[in-house]
Amino acid sequence: MDFQQLAKQVVEDIGGKDNIQSLTHCVTRLRFKLKDRSLADKEAVSRIKGVINVVEQGGQFQVVIGNEVTKAYDAVVELTGIQGQAIDVVEKDDLKVKGKFLDIVIDLVTSIFTPIMPSLIGGGMIRALLMILLQVGVLQETSGAYIVINEIMLLSFHFYRFTLLFVQPIALNVMRC
């Protein structure tokens, strides 16, 4: 594959090197931050030989190349003179873009509830196990083992409120721990 030609076509179809604000790459993608998104032709880029897909996500114009992305990246850097970097993980601050209200609300709700999901799932699994053991006849509601396991299950739901109080300020960027 001719990566020089690929780089030339990609840069041309995203609005030229003057439209590139920054450039990074991960394992499979060239990640462009563009000055003016309207100058980029997503369809034209996706038709370029060697491009697997084009994704717009997190304020980035991402061109999926595959395992040979470093060769394509080097060709783009050589062509444009823009020095980017390789990244392992996209930081949350890099993804901050002004979005629709619903997107912001969904992001907030998921950032609050994701850290507490393991305790809720664990409590639910313990509750399901207790119900199965009761139905099979292994435990009785008056047995000591049932009472202890039931209280452990209830703790996960009672401390759920306190966990919310701890996680919410972090999700709102009010407090960092």
Could you list the active site residues? 26
Tokens of 176: 């960092």
Nearest alpha carbon to residue 26 among 94, 80, 79: 94
Q: 56 forms bridges with which residues in the sheet?
A: 61
- Strand-by-strand arrangement of the 60-64 sheet: 53-57, 60-64, 29-34, 20-25, 85-86
Q: What is the Cα–Cα distance from 125 to 153, expressed in whole angstroms?
A: 9
β-pairing, 60-64 with 29-34? antiparallel
- Side-chain-side CA neighbours of 174 within 13 Å: the count stands at 9
